[in-house]
Structure 1
Amino acid sequence: MGYRLSKIYTRTGDGGETGLADGRRVTKDHPRVDAMGEVDTLNSHLGLLLAELQTARADCAGLDELIEVLEPCQHRLFDLGGELAMPEYQALQPQELERLEAAIDRWNEEVGPLENFILPGGSRLIAQAHVCRALARSAERRCQHLNAVEPLRAIGLAYVNRLSDLLFVAARLIARRQGIAEILWQAAPKTTD
């Protein structure tokens, strides 16, 4: 395959611009670069979640399925980043959406209907799954912002949307399999004037 990067620093970005794979130079706050960065941040946090799941699997065998479903998501996020960096590149496939939706349906059936809003927390794993969910929503917003300026493939937009749904259900499933009660939101008490 060869080397992808032979030199880590190039000094070409010191003036606030970066190069895209199609040869364009854009500012580092360009919507495309912003979307790429948010997808990368999500991928990094997903890596942290997977590392935590690997560590916790010794104490909770029910976490193996989550690892199996989430590990490919890091690769697909890298594919999405490639599509953002190289607008002509097409890597994401509809089967990946089907895979996520099947996992969402399976896990949602296990955790049951949501009876109240829940807060991120209960354990480190649950909280990290919620961090990933929130970052997926942020990546989706950044991709939608870019889409308004430079149209993107619908599959990429759908993927980050579905991934955030998957991560929400994953957080609930982790709580269930760890035997930790979900933290239910409590409305602020009403005051009387």
Structure 2
Amino acid sequence: MKIYTKTGDKGETGLIGGRRVSKADLRIVAYGAVDELNSSIGLAVSSLCGKEKVFSDLADVLTQVQNDLFIVGSDLADSDYPKSQYNTPRTDENMASALEPVIDKFESELEPITFFILPGGSAEASMLHVCRGVARRAETAAVALYRSESINPAIIMYLNRLADLLFVAARLANKRQGVPDVAWKKKKSSQ
């Protein structure tokens, strides 16, 4: 089977169930952002796996997140929420709840935050901060869709919690490599 179908050549794509919509539809923007997030996390995992002894637990968590994001994406691609005849996997609140003890565990390794943190430090932390930014954009796109159509509210909860996890993961990547978080410095007044 060929990868190209030419069915999207006029700026439309199909949802689960066959309905055609514009590629600029809020639903497509939302699951496109989730797909980008999954790809970004894949890049971060590849980098973390190069330092397996330091980051194996974090890489395992993020690999599970990638699997979860497939569910989030398929949930968004099915416009028949809450009822669907297609057995589409659905995001559930337990997916977000499962991230909370992981966040707590990773955060227990960190010093409390006493300053605003700029994205940066080690290359691994920087990648995780990029992932966090993409997660926030995916969350924003899901919220925009939620305000115009019926979607599973657990999606928004999951993406919100995931952004929190990615922030803590970025700090953890710096900490485990002995790299300090980058502090925001207020510009001194010229007056």
TM-score where L is the length of structure 2:
0.92
Q: Residue 13 of structure 2 contacts residue 20 of structure 2 at CA under 8 Å; is this kept in 1?
A: yes
Using the alignment, how far apart are the partners of 1:56 and 1:185 within structure 2? 28
Name the structure 1 match of 2:65: 73
- Select which of 49, 54, 65 maps to 1:54: 49
Cross-structure match for 1:106: 105
> Equivalent residue for 2:116?
117
TM-score (norm 1): 0.91
For structure 1, list consecutive stretches of 5 or more residues without a partner in the other structure: 1-5
CA distance in 2, matches of 1:165, 1:101: 9
Once superposed, which parts of structure 1, at least 4 consecutive aligned residues long, lie more than 3 Å away? none
Contact 2:122/2:173, CA 8 A, preserved across alignment: no
Structure 2: which 5+ runs fail to align? none
Q: Sequence identity, in percent?
A: 42
SS at match of 1:149: coil
Counterpart of 1:135? 134
Amino acid at match of 2:158: Y
Shift of 1:8: 1.5
Matched, 1:64 2:63: no
Match of 2:35, as an amino acid? D
C-alpha displacement of 1:62: 2.9
How many residue pairs get aligned? The number is 184
Question: Structure 1 residue 91: deviation in Å?
Answer: 2.6
Shift of 1:102: 0.4
Instruction: Calculate the aligned-residue CA RMSD, in Å.
Output: 1.2
Partner residue in 1 for 2:148: 149
* 8 A Cα contact 2:72 2:90, kept in partner: yes
Over residues 153-187 of structure 1, what are the superposed CA-to-partner deviations in whole Å (9 max), with x where a residue is unaligned? 11111001000000000001111111111110101
| 2:36 match | 41
